[in-house]
Structure 1
Amino acid sequence: MDFISSFTDRPLPPLADIFKNVTTISRPVKDHLVQVYATLAGMMILGAAGAYAEIKGLFLFRVRRNPLDAAVHSRCDWDTDAAVQRGEQEHAVGSTLGMSIGHLVTHAFYLDPSGGIVLMALTSAVLIFASFTAAAVLAERRSMIYLGGLLASAISVLFWTSFANSFIRSKTLWGAELYIGLFVFAGYVIFDTQLIVEKASVGNLDVVGHSIDLFVDFVAMFVRIMLILSKSREDDDRRKERGRRRRQY
């Protein structure tokens, strides 16, 4: 009991101490974060447009897919302004990733024509992203940078597990990959946010590059949540179908 009371009797830190780490972020870094999240919002809109185009099979949008992919991997070595080229990369990543998950969104709408699965996945991803972003900003600076090595190791394990499961085809292992992957990319939100703050503090103000890092984290979480919800709906539908057949016989 004394051990437990030593924790319950411990006073909570003042509210000012909780937010003191925000005040240690310089004004240029704060302005950079505002630009990053504004750009991230734009990329989400582009991603939604890309997914919609893939679902509806819009031909003109599909034609642009290969040039967009090329723009992602190209370097800024043309005669045009570098900012314009970085903007093209932003558009390319946003729309291309959106198109890449179009078939998953289509399957989710097939399972739930009302769009409940997609809406729930999007809402959950936004809430997780916002919560972990706030945790990264409010935490002591550089306190979460150590997560980089752990997360990279986890990604490596997930890759080889997924590769092995392509032969084993275990549904249990696949489900575990989804949940573990969700936690890993939630951790990447914290890691990337603190890394962006530290990079900006030393003069690296790459708005588009930092936005892409966070956008990839968000899409990875959204896809995994949507797959988890879709799998749950499929399992429910199977149970209902089995129950219906039993009643018929």
Structure 2
Amino acid sequence: MNVFDRNINFDALMKFSQISRSTQQHLKNVYSSLTICMLVAGVGAYVHVFTRLLQGGLLSFLGSIGLMIWLAMTPHSLETEKKRLAILCGFAFFTGVGLGPAMDFVISVNPSIIVTAFLGTSVIFACFTLSALYAQRRSYLFLGGTLMSGLSVLLLLSMFNMFYGSVMLFKAHMYLGLVVMCGFVLFDTQLIIEKAEMGDKDYIWHCVDLFLDFITIFRKLMMILATNEKDKKKEKK
């Protein structure tokens, strides 16, 4: 064996022997839809930040929730595929608009944080996705209970902090939320694989799970970076 031979077999890297061909095709559809959602959400955020034609807030939140419910109630079939894709794009658009207020705050601190947070989120999402794809099947599904407990803790922290307004609790909520959502990328990816292997090929609805994971990680990371930057500016003063 030549220890200096560092040639990489890229064909081997792209093989997912534990995933059937039909599920691999399903995943391609999921991630293609996810890419479209990212672009449409970017347009929604642009509309809020630069045009002010739509404002992120209660109405955009209700719009995204309404479209998600409509998507969930629309059956998955070839006849409804285009309709459901249009609903998905509408959901992504209003979700992007809903990011507007958080982005306004970040821009007031340092606009470059948005780019940094997006790149960081992309790296985090890609790493955890690849970990889930290459790991043994079902190996991360056990995280479901732990992650739901984490969400319950986050909800309690949020409710508790509504009355006390603690900066420390706010930061703890952001960091814990980031960790929990990274775990959901692992869990949701493997859950989508298992559903596909069982015959559930609704790639549009599966895309919603990963899209929400990405957006939540982006929001958390963006706020963490902005808060840290703001604290540094206060210390300099």
TM-score (norm 1): 0.82
User: Which residue does 1:89 correspond to in 2?
Assistant: 87
Residues 29 and 238 of structure 1: CA distance in aligned 2, closer, same or farther (over 3 Å): same
Q: How far apart, in 2, do the equivalents of 1:20 and 1:87 lie?
A: 28
Quick one: percent identity of the two aligned structures? 32
Specify every segment of 5 or more residues in structure 2 that has no aligned partner in the other structure, as ranges: 1-8
Deviating more after overlay: 207-216 vs 88-97: 88-97
Change (3 A) 1:67 1:109: closer
Letter in 1 for 2:103: V
Residue identity matched to 1:42:
I
Contact 1:21-1:137 at 8 Å conserved across structures: no
CA contact (8 A) 1:93 1:212 kept: no
1:54: which partner in 2?
48
> How large is the Cα RMSD of the aligned pairs?
2.5
**Aligned counterpart, 1:161:** 157
1:217 alignment partner AA: D
Partner in structure 1 of residue 6 of structure 2: none
Residue equivalent to 1:98: 96
Aligned to 1:3: none
Q: Which amino acid aligns with 2:17?
A: T
- 1:186 deviation in Å? 0.2
State the partner residue of 2:4.
none
User: Which whole-Å CA distance do the structure 2 matches of 1:187 and 1:64 have between them?
Assistant: 27
Query: AA paired with 1:98?
Result: G
Mapped to 2, the partners of 1:50 and 1:218 lie a distance apart of 16
Count of paired positions: 222
Pairing 1:22–2:16 present? yes
Deviation at 1:65, TM superposition (A): 8.6
Structure 1 gap ranges (5+): 1-14, 242-249
TM alignment of 1:43-192, pairs within 5 A = 43-59=37-53, 70-74=66-70, 75-76=73-74, 81-112=79-110, 115-192=111-188
Shift of the 61–206 alpha-carbon distance from structure 1 to 2, 3 Å rule, reads farther
Contact 1:108 1:226 in 2 (8 A): yes
What is the one-letter code of the residue matched to 1:162?
A: S
TM-score, normalising length: structure 2: 0.86
| 1:207 paired to 2:203 | yes
Q: Tell me the distance in 2 between the aligned counterparts of 1:194 and 1:51.
A: 30
Residue type of the partner of 1:87? L
